[in-house]
């Protein structure tokens, strides 16, 4: 087993969502979700960090071609989120509360297989919803 190196690609997307449970009253939704329960939606400028680990290929010196990683993230994730309404438009978020935690796990499920198919391992995701709030997921 060679030495393991971690590489990270950052991608950004802007998307609308709301956090709202239909079976709850407006008051209860506002109490639990605050401004994110606004019924007419609101948006965030999300920042996604995708960290992949693996050993370095001798010929290239790469763990994984970052252009290829970027293309996978764009095709499988960003195209389904950027300038979309996450609650309504994003196939892998259908019927799932559009919290940063759930979006992060949804993104994981999109990427883990295709990255493995390229001979690398998805190590972690970090998804920033705001400057002050972010979620990390390690696939557990």
78: alpha, beta or left? (left if phi > 0; alpha if psi -120 to 50): alpha
Binding part of the chain for Ni ion, among 30-38, 60-68, 86-94, 101-109 by CB under 5 A, reads 30-38
Q: Where are the alpha helices (DSSP H) in 3-49?
A: 26-33
- Considering the complex, what minimum distance in angstroms separates the CB of residue 16 from Ni ion? 9
Residue 83 annotated to the active site: yes
- Kindly report the backbone phi and psi dihedral angles of residue 98, in degrees, each rounded to the nearest multiple of 5, phi listed first: -85, 50
Report, in Å, the least distance between residue 48 CB and Ni ion.
Answer: 15
- For Ni ion, the closer of residues 18 and 80 by Cβ is 18
If one asks whether residue 86 binds Ni ion (CB under 5 A), the answer comes out as: no
Reported as half-sphere exposure (CB side, CA atoms, 13 A), residue 5 has a value of: 9
* Apex 73 CA angle, 43 and 105, nearest 5: 65
Instruction: State in angstroms the smallest separation of the CB of 47 from Ni ion.
Output: 14
Stretch that binds Ni ion, among 36-44, 48-56, 66-74, 110-118 (CB under 5 A): 36-44
Spot the catalytic one: 31, 83, 101, 136. Answer: 83
Please indicate whether residue 129 is annotated as part of the active site: yes
Whole-angstrom distance, CA of residue 65 vs CA of residue 74: 14
Shortest Cβ 74–Ni ion spacing (Å): 23
Judged by DSSP in three states, 87 sits in: helix
State yes or no: residue 36 binds Ni ion (CB under 5 A).
Answer: yes
Under the rule (CB under 5 A), what is the footprint of Ni ion?
36
* Residues noted as catalytic: 36, 83, 129
């Amino acid at each position: 087993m060679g030495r393991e190196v971690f590489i990270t690609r950052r991608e950004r997307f802007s998307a609308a969502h709301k956090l709202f449970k239909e079976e709850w009253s407006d008051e209860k939704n506002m109490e639990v979700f605050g401004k994110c329960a606004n019924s007419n939606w609101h948006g965030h400028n999300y920042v996604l960090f995708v960290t992949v680990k693996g050993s370095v290929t001798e010929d290239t010196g790469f763990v994984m071609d970052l252009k290829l990683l970027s293309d996978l993230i764009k095709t499988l994730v960003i195209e389904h989120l950027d300038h979309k309404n996450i609650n309504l438009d994003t196939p892998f978020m259908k019927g799932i509360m559009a919290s940063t935690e759930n979006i992060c796990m949804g993104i994981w499920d999109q990427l883990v297989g295709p990255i493995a198919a390229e001979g690398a391992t998805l190590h972690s995701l970090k998804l920033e919803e705001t400057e002050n709030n972010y979620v990390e997921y390690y696939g557990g």
